[in-house]
C-alpha cells in the first residue's frame, strides 16, 4: 500500500514537473506571447487596482483638480496625468469611456495631440463627459492638428519651395523621417490623417461646434503654446520641444468654459 501511494505521488510530481517544463519551454520559444500576456496583466492591474487609488488620492488632496488626458511623457506637477498606457506615476484613463470623476469635481482638463486619436463619435462623447465633470467656470483646452493648415499646402503648386510653406515641409519630413516624393503635400496630408493612430482631424469650425454641442461656452482659439490662462502653460509640452516650429505651424489650441 505504501509503495502504491509513493508511486502515485511520484507520478503526479513527474507530471507537474513535465507541465512546468513545457510551459517554460513554450514561453522561451514564444517570448512575443509571453510579453503580450505580461503586458496585459500589468495593464489590467494598473487599470483596476493602482489607478483608482491614484485618482482618489489626487482628488482628496487637491482643492482644484486639473486633469491631463493622454499625457504621454508630459508629467506636469500639480496635474493628474493620465494615459491609456500610463507610466508608473500616471493613472489609467480611456477617453472613450465615462470619465472616472464625480460631477463638477474638476477645474481644468487639458489634452495635447490626443483628441485626434478618437473617432468623431467618441470625441463628442468625451466632450460631453468633460462638461459633466468640470465645475462651473472650469476650462478645457485641446491642442490638435489643424486640418486647414495641411490643406494650405495645396494652395501653392510648389509648397516645397514656397516662402509660406517650404520651412514646414522640410522640417515635417525631417521630423518624421518620411521619404521625399514629388508631391510632399500629398504625402504629409495622408500620413497625418492615417498615421500615428490618428482617427479624425478637425478644422477650427468643427472643433468649436463639438464644444458647443457638449454645452461649452466662451470658446476661443489660440496658437499652440499661447493662452490667457497661465494654468495651462506648464502642462503643454510641444512648444518647448525641438520640433516646436513644426508644431506651431500645424497645431491649433481651442479653449472653452463650462
Mean pLDDT score across all residues of the chain: 89
| pLDDT confidence bin for 3, thresholds 50/70/90 | low
Grid cell digits, residue 48: 483596476
pLDDT, residue 49, reads 82
Per-residue pLDDT at 98: 98
Owner of C-alpha cell 482617427: 199
Partnered with residue 255 across adjacent β-strands are: 141, 220
Q: What tens digit of pLDDT does each residue of 193-231 get?
A: 999 999 999 999 999 999 999 999 999 999 999 999 999
Which of 62, 207, 216 lies closest to 140, judged by CA? Answer: 216
- Mean pLDDT, rounded, for 1-25: 57
Write down the pLDDT at residue 153: 97
The reported pLDDT for the residue numbered 229 is 98
83 contacts 54 by C-beta, under 8 angstroms: no
Sign of CA dihedral 66, 235, 170, 160: positive
pLDDT in tens, 67-118: 999 999 999 999 999 999 998 889 999 999 999 999 999 999 999 999 999 9
Please check the confidence at residue 131 and state whether its pLDDT lies above 50.
Answer: yes
What percentage of residues in the chain have a pLDDT greater than 70? 82
Q: Are 153 and 169 in contact (CB under 8 A)?
A: yes
Q: Per-residue pLDDT tens for 38-64?
A: 444 456 667 668 999 999 999 999 999
Q: What percent of the chain has pLDDT over 90?
A: 79
Amino acid at each position: 500500500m505504501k509503495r502504491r501511494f509513493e508511486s502515485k505521488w511520484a507520478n503526479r510530481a513527474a507530471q507537474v514537473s513535465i507541465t512546468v517544463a513545457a510551459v517554460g519551454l513554450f514561453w522561451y520559444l514564444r517570448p512575443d506571447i509571453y510579453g503580450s500576456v505580461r503586458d496585459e496583466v500589468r495593464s489590467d492591474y494598473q487599470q483596476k487596482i493602482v489607478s483608482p487609488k491614484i485618482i482618489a488620492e489626487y482628488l482628496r488632496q487637491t482643492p482644484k483638480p486639473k486633469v491631463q488626458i493622454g499625457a504621454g511623457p508630459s508629467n506636469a506637477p500639480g496635474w493628474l496625468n493620465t494615459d491609456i498606457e500610463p507610466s508608473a506615476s500616471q493613472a489609467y484613463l480611456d477617453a472613450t469611456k465615462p470619465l472616472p470623476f464625480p460631477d463638477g469635481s474638476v477645474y481644468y482638463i487639458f489634452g495635447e495631440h490626443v483628441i485626434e486619436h478618437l473617432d468623431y463619435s467618441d470625441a463628442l462623447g468625451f466632450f460631453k463627459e468633460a462638461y459633466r465633470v468640470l465645475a462651473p467656470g472650469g476650462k478645457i483646452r485641446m491642442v490638435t492638428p489643424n486640418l486647414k493648415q495641411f490643406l494650405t499646402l495645396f494652395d501653392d503648386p510648389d509648397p516645397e519651395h514656397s516662402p509660406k510653406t517650404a520651412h514646414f515641409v522640410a522640417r515635417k519630413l525631417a521630423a518624421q523621417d518620411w521619404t521625399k516624393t514629388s508631391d510632399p503635400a500629398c504625402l504629409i496630408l495622408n500620413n497625418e490623417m492615417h498615421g500615428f493612430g490618428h482617427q479624425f482631424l478637425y478644422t477650427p469650425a468643427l472643433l468649436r461646434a463639438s464644444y458647443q454641442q457638449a454645452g461649452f461656452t466662451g470658446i476661443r482659439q489660440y496658437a499652440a503654446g499661447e493662452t490667457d490662462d497661465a494654468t495651462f502653460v506648464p502642462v503643454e509640452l510641444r512648444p518647448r520641444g525641438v520640433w516646436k516650429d513644426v508644431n506651431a505651424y500645424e497645431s491649433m489650441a481651442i479653449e472653452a468654459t463650462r
